[in-house]
Amino acid sequence: MADTDRPQIYLVTPPALEVDTFADRLAAVLDQAEVACVRLALATRDEDAILRAGDALREVTHARDVAIVIENHVQMVERLGLDGVHLTDGARLVRKLRKDLGGDAIIGAFCGTTRHEGMNAAEAGADYVAFGPVGETSLGTGARAPVDLFQWWSEMIEVPVVAEGALTADLVAELGPVTDFFGIGDEIWRAEDPAAALKALLAPLG
């Protein structure tokens, strides 16, 4: 949970990356911004590629006291020495994984635009719930997580909430008072200077 009213930064890797190059880019961002957590979110099913990326990024993050979680690949958490797992299918596995991974592991759940699914994940023991996309996107159904979902959550639920997906500076300004974390990925990694892009995106927070 955030120690201050300012939302914390939660970085999400690109779905495909060149390990050595990206590790350097990530390190540069972490050295210039205060980041709470990094999510390894690779699209590949290549186990060796995931292991190489996990090893490299764990070294970068843990050297800077930043937590790192992996998207969905639960078996990789202990194998790679990661801090937890981010589930993309809502609350379904949260309770089981809390038992399997123990109380210290970070378990997060992406719940799309669905308040009910978020509440189920929170009740099952998730450390945070993510909603999104918050911005306009042609991916998926195009449905967006509205600002009033975050407003309601921040007033009613103690479990931290993450706003992610197609973020803009305007959305950062609007959501800043009602979210605990901003999940930021492609918004900065497509830029030549990701650290500068991150600073610009978060400029409305002051």
pLDDT in tens, 160-180: 999 999 999 999 999 999 999
Q: Which residue has the higher pLDDT, 203 or 4?
A: 203
* Averaged pLDDT, 182-205: 97
Residue 10 has φ and ψ, to the nearest 5°, of -130, 105
Q: Are 101 and 85 in contact (CB under 8 A)?
A: yes
Pick 8-205's CATH classification: 3.90.226.10, 1.10.10.10, 1.10.490.10, 3.20.20.70.
3.20.20.70
Q: What angle do CA 34, 50, 114 make, to 5 degrees?
A: 65
- Least confident window among 6-20, 32-46, 126-140: 126-140
Q: Would you state the pLDDT for residue 136?
A: 93
In the chain, where the domains are located: 8-205
Q: Please state, rounded to an integer, the average pLDDT across all residues of the chain.
A: 95
The Cα 10–Cα 184 span in angstroms is: 6
pLDDT in tens, 15-71: 999 999 999 999 999 999 999 999 999 999 999 999 999 999 999 999 999 999 999
Q: What angle do CA 141, 145, 148 make, to 5 degrees?
A: 150
**What pTM was computed for the model?**
0.96
